[in-house]
Amino acid sequence: MPDLFSPFTLKGVTLRNRIVMSPMTMYSSHDGEMDDYHVSYLGARASGGFGLIFPEQIAITPDGRTTTECAGIWSDDQIDGHRRVTDIIKRFGAVPAIQLGHTGRKGSEVAPHKSYPGFPGNSQLPADHPNGWQCIAPSAIPYGGDHSWPVHELTVDEIKALHRKYADAARRALDAGYQWLEMHFAHGYLGAEFFSPIANHRTDQYGGSLENRARFHLEALDAVREVWPDEYPLTMRLGADDLNPAGTQFDDSLVAIGWMKEHGLDLADISLGFNTDEMIDPPMGREAFMVEKTNRVRTQLQIPVGTSWNLGIPETADQVIRDELVDLVFLGRPALSNPHWPVWAARELGHPTPFELVPDDWRWWLENFRGYDASIGLPPAAEPSARLRSA
């Protein structure tokens, strides 16, 4: 029976545990580049015991960013910064992963903690603003609300060019040392827009039927698969449900993920579509709310799965792995609040050697601490739970 700290092997890559640092936008890049900030921030999580580590969503083009402060890999000049990140992650025993994406009609934003005159945080800037640009989408339909500036409807030639951009970005990611590649087709970004009838009103081969709306995904997978080595996992974060009767439906996503598996998808990272704010009974405040649907993907399609959303309680994260509901647990905010979350979780769950997750020199000091134990900086090691003792 696996648990949260069991190794996980996918293709030619083995993770030391099932704990993933989920991509989280940091708004700390200049010209899309990774720098000392990212080395420090991501290295801390690698030394803290995470098995797989993603930076934020990495844009395949400049207009694929959320803000001008977001990271990218559209230029060979950006490879060295990414290589510094992958080097530090590997040094501390984790596997470096990259999430490639394009924000589509949700781009050209103001960072949430900043503002410009007339434009508060998280609002969208018009194309003629110095920090804004013309957003693109499958159809000329703005998201709405404070994201209502006109968007450009992509031509078929432009779609084909974007697929080449995905492949170019994947080649750079490989050169930079990444060993796991995920495509971000959720959260209302470009891939999710193509999949959702709310955002996609096209009448050509990329719109209308489920097969047509999934075509963007399948062709992007094909383009990346041509350059991404078969021994390294190729995964996708999919907006599997818009929680709106007019949008993406989960049963349709099940069918489409089956097609994606045939096109080389190795793992499905299941999330929400977020193509509209008009969601029915939004579940964001509920613990582990994506696990049930994620398990349906795993069970019905026989493909490895992962998910995020409110899995930061160690007992919960461990239980969904032990019950074989999901294969990987993705943690975003918990990874930000506690870079040593895996060590803390191991102690909470009564793991016999929690400090094996940190570098060996640190481990020696922590396991051979001679002094007042409560002052070590972590709660006292928990007694193993009855469930762990009986396993």
33 pLDDT higher than 80: yes
- pTM of the full structure: 0.94
The average confidence (pLDDT) of the chain is 95
Q: Are 245 and 197 in contact (CB under 8 A)?
A: no
- Does the annotation mark 189 as catalytic? yes
* Rounded Cα distance, 269 and 192, in Å: 13
Going by pLDDT thresholds of 50, 70 and 90, the confidence category of residue 106 is very high
pLDDT digits (tens, 9 = 90+) for 286-338: 999 999 999 999 999 999 999 999 999 999 999 999 999 999 999 999 999 99
116 pLDDT higher than 90: yes
Going by pLDDT thresholds of 50, 70 and 90, the confidence category of residue 221 is very high
Amino acid, res. 151: V
Longest dimension (CA), the chain: 71
Give the dihedral sign, CA 326/332/338/339.
Answer: positive
- % of the chain exceeding 70 in pLDDT: 96
- % of the chain exceeding 90 in pLDDT: 90
Query: What is the pLDDT averaged over residues 223-236?
Result: 98
* Rounded Cα distance, 33 and 231, in Å: 27
Q: Which of 41, 178, 189, 232 is catalytic?
A: 189
* Rounded Cα distance, 248 and 193, in Å: 9
The per-residue pLDDT for 391 is: 39
pLDDT digits (tens, 9 = 90+) for 159-210: 999 999 999 999 999 999 999 999 999 999 999 999 999 999 999 999 999 9
Number of other CB atoms surrounding residue 326 within 10 Å: 25
Nearest to 7 by CA among 334, 367, 312, 328: 328
DSSP secondary-structure letter at 339?
T
pLDDT digits (tens, 9 = 90+) for 72-91: 999 999 999 999 999 999 99
Q: Which domains are present in the chain?
A: 8-107+156-390 (3.20.20.70)
The per-residue pLDDT for 390 is: 39
Name the CA radius of gyration of the chain, rounded.
21
| Residue-by-residue DSSP string for 225-265 | HTTS-TTS-EEEEEE---SSTTS--HHHHHHHHHHHHHTT-
Query: What is the pLDDT averaged over residues 337-344?
Result: 95
| Residue-by-residue DSSP string for 270-315 | EE---S-S--SS--TTSTTTTHHHHHHHHHHH---EEE-SS--SHH
Task: List the beta bridge partners of residue 284.
Answer: none
385 pLDDT higher than 60: no
Q: Are 97 and 181 in contact (CB under 8 A)?
A: yes
Query: What is the pLDDT averaged over residues 31-39?
Result: 97
The per-residue pLDDT for 366 is: 85
Going by pLDDT thresholds of 50, 70 and 90, the confidence category of residue 386 is very low
DSSP secondary-structure letter at 188?
T
The per-residue pLDDT for 380 is: 63
